[in-house]
Structure 1
C-alpha cells in the first residue's frame, strides 16, 4: 500500500480521466459499490485463488473467550471482508438493483481493491482496478463492445499498437476431452497449461505427468504442443480451426470468427487479434470467451477478461449473461508519458515578502478566471530549486510579483 506524491497523483488522475471519458463515449455508465462485502459472498467459491487473499474483518464486539472458541473457524469470527476484485461486488449490485437498471446494463467500476499477497513489481496489496462489464447480452456484440472500448482507451492514452489474445473456455474443455483428460483432472490441467509461456512445452509435459494419471492424454497433448501449426492468415474461422486439434469446431469457433469480423469492421483490418488455444485465465467462473490485451512495449498483459454467465445467477436466482474486461491500471499508469496538460496552463507566482496579501489574492483570482492553475510561492534564496519543484508538480510557467503589480504587467516565463 502506497502514498502518492502530488506529481504521481496528478498523473494518475489524468490517466483515470482519459479512461472514464473513453468508456463513457462507448456507452458505459459508472457505478460505485462499498469497499466491503459479506464474508460469505466473498468466499462463495467464485473468486478463485483471490478468495485466499481476502482481508477479512472481525465481527464487532468479540471478547477474548469468543475469539479463542472460534479460532479454528474463520467464518465464526468474521462477517465482512474487503473486496479483492470488482466482479463479485458487481454481481451483488446487479442482483440488488436490477429493477432500476436497463435490460442490457453497461457498467464502469473504477476503484481500489485489496489482496493480502506478497508485494512485488507491479503487484500491491491495495491497487486500482478499472472494469467495464456488460450484463444481459448473451450475443457476441458484448465482447466486441468491450474489446473495441478497451483498445480505443489504450489509443487515447498514447499506447497505440495493442493486441488482443482470445480463446474460449468451451474450446479448452473440448480440447482436454479430445486428448482424454478425465473431467475431474481438467481444472488442475488448466493450471499447468496456463504456465506454458513460463515453463515451455517440456515443462508443461513434465508437470502434467506429475499431476495427471492419464499418461496417454498427457503424451497426446505434448505431441500437439510440439507440432508445426498449419499456415492460416489473419483472424477468422479458418485460422482458429488450424490452431486446434482436428475435428474441434462448432458454436465457439463461429462466435470467435464473428467477434474478429466485427472488431475489424470497427477498427480496421489491421487490428491485431490473435487466437491462442492455450490462453486459460485462471478465474474458475469464466464460461465462454476469454481475452487478454498486450502491448509491444512490455512482456506482460495490460488487462483481460471474459464471459462469466454463471456468476450473476448465484445472487439473482436466475441466469443472466455477463462479460467483463479489466484494465491493469497500475501497469498502464507507469507506461503513459507524464506530459503537462497544455489545455490547462499552470503558473507559479513568485512574490516578494512585502507584497500585500490582498494584492496576491486578487492576482491569483485574475489568473484563475483566465482558466489557469495558480500557485503562490514566496521568493526563496534559491529560486532554481523552487522552480524545479514546481515543474515536477506539473507547472509550466512562472512570473515574478512585486508590490503594486497588475496582471497585465507581469512577465510570464516558461519553466525550462
Structure 2
C-alpha cells in the first residue's frame, strides 16, 4: 500500500536547497540559449491522445499516461476492457517529450513564426517508467530546436549552444558523441540486412552498451545470421577506436580521415560528408571541457531521426546527459508538407544531480533575528529596506539554542545574520556577522 505522506512512486518532492540548485541550472541554460538567438515557448502539458500515439514518439508512446474521457459509463468501460482496447476510453494524455508538442505548435502557428524558428522549450514530461536511479515518471526536459533550416548550420548552432550551456554549468569532461542515421543504414546495407529489417536491427544495436557486441550479434542472428556476423566484425573493429570516449581523452575524431578509417570502404558516403563538414565547422568552436567525437554505434532509439544524431556522455553519469538529432519528416505529419527540423535536449535531471550550487549564487542572503515581543512594524521596515537594497531576507525568532538556529539558516544558503534590538531603527543600525564564524 502506498505511503500517504510520500509522493507517487517515480515522482519527487524538492527541498529548498534542491529547488535552488535546479533554478540555478535552469537560469544558466536559458541564459545561454537566449544569447544564441533562441526564443522560449510554452505548450500544454496535455495533448490529444491520437497525436501522442501517431507513431512519432517511438517506444515512448508505450510509456505515456492517458487521461480518461469524462462521463464514461460503466458499460463502456467494461466493453473496452473485454475487447482488450482500453485506449478507446482516453481522448487526452500527458506529454512524454517536448518534441511532439513542438511539432504540433509549429504546425498551428507557422504563419506567425519566422522562416527559420529557433525555440527553447523547458518543462515537465511524464512517462510510465519503472522507477530507478536516473529514471523518473515525472522529469524536466530542456530542449532547443531549429525548424526550417535544412543545412548543416542548424546542427552547428545546436552543438555550440549546448556545449556552452554544459560548460557554464561546470560539467567538465562532457563528450558529444555524433553519428548519422544514414551511416547506420549504410552499414546495415553493407552487411546484407534488407531494408525491411533495418528498424528492428537498429533497435538491437541500440542495446550495445547493455548486452555487448556478442549479445547484439546473437540477437541479430534471428533476423539474418550471415549479416549479423558481418556486423559483428565491424563492431569488433570499431570497439578499440572508441576506447576513452567517455572521458574525452580518446575516441574517434570527427574528421573525414578518422571516420573513413573505421567504416567499411564506400559505406554511407552522404553521412560521412555531413559529419566531416560538421567536424570541420566545430574545430576550435567548442569551450574547454567539452569535446566532440564520432561514434558509429550511436543509434538513438527514436525512429523519427533522419540524419545527424547526438548524445552527451559525462564521466560522472552512468547514462547520457543529453541527446537529439535531425527529424526532417516529423513536422510534415501535422502540416501536410515536410519541414526540416533538428533538436538537442539536455537531460536536466541527470545534469542537476552532477551539480553543486556555487557559493555566492544570487543576492546576498541575510537573516534578521528578532525578539518575540519586538516591534513588528519596525521589523518589517528593516526587512523592506534590505530587500530594496537587493538582499534576500529571512526573519527568524530568537531561540534558546541559537547555535542550532544559525546552523540551520547557514545550511539553507544564508551568509550573515544580525540581531534586531529595541534601538535598531534603520538597516544601517544592523550589525551583520557572517554565518561561517
Q: Tell me if structure 2 keeps the 8 A contact 1:359–1:404.
A: no
Structure 1's consecutive aligned runs of 4 or more residues displaced over 4 angstroms after TM superposition are 228-233, 268-271
**TM-score (normalised: structure 2):** 0.91
Alignment of 1:116-135 (within 5 A): 116-135=128-147
1:408 alignment counterpart: 428
1:202 aligns with 2:214: yes
Alpha-carbon distance change, 377 to 230 in structure 1, aligned in 2, over 3 angstroms: closer
Mark the CA change 1:300 to 1:117 in structure 2 (over 3 Å): closer, same or farther: closer
Partner of 1:336: 355
Cα distance change of structure 1 residues 284 and 297 upon mapping to structure 2, 3 Å threshold:
same
Q: Does 1:158 align with 2:167?
A: no
Alignment gaps of 5+ in structure 2: 1-10, 242-250
Q: CA deviation at 1:163?
A: 1.5
Residue matched to 2:264:
245
Map of 2:307 onto structure 1: 288
Pick one of 225, 228, 232 that aligns with 1:215: 225
Which deviates more from structure 2 when the two are superposed, residues 236-245 or residues 31-40?
236-245
Asked whether 1:87 is paired with 2:99, we answer: yes
Q: Matches of 2:18 and 2:97 in 1, distance apart?
A: 23
Structure 1 residue 340: Cα displacement: 3.4
Which residue does the alignment assign to 2:416?
Answer: 397
* CA deviation vs aligned residue, 1:269-311 (integer Å, no higher than 9, x gap): 9962211111001000001100111223333211000000010
TM-superposed CA distance for 1:342, in Å, is 4.3
Match of 2:203 in 1: 191
Deviation at 1:73, TM superposition (A): 2.4
Distance 1:282 1:84 in 2: 14
Q: Which moved more, 1:59-68 or 1:110-119?
A: 59-68
| Post-superposition offset of 1:57 | 0.6
Aligned ranges 1:294-373 → 2 under 5 Å: 294-373=313-392
Confirm whether residue 2 of structure 1 aligns to residue 12 of structure 2.
Answer: yes
* Separation in 1, partners of 2:298, 2:393: 50
Asked if the contact 1:354/1:403 (under 8 Å) is kept, the reply is no
Q: Secondary structure at the residue paired with 1:404?
A: coil
- Specify the alignment match of 2:118 in structure 1: 106
Shift of 1:156: 0.8
Change over 3 Å in CA distance of 1:95–1:301 after alignment to 2: same
State which drifts further: 306-315 or 401-410: 401-410
CA, structure 1 residues 70+197, in 2 after alignment: closer, same or farther (shift >3 Å)?
A: closer
Paired positions, count: 414
Equivalent residue for 2:273, pick from 242, 245, 254: 254
1:329 and 1:243, CA in 2 relative to 1: closer, same or farther beyond 3 A?
same
8 A Cα contact 2:80 2:86, kept in partner? yes
Deviation, 1:69, is 2.2
* 2:401 paired with 1:382: yes
> In 1, Cα distance between the equivalents of 2:417 and 2:289?
45
Correspondence for 2:246: none
Q: Taking structure 1 as the reference length, what is the TM-score of the superposition?
A: 0.96
Q: 1:202 to 1:73 in 2, by over 3 A?
A: closer
Q: Secondary structure at the match of 2:384?
A: helix
Partner SS state of residue 402, structure 1: coil
Unaligned runs of 5+ in 1: none
Root-mean-square deviation (CA, aligned residues, Å) is 1.8
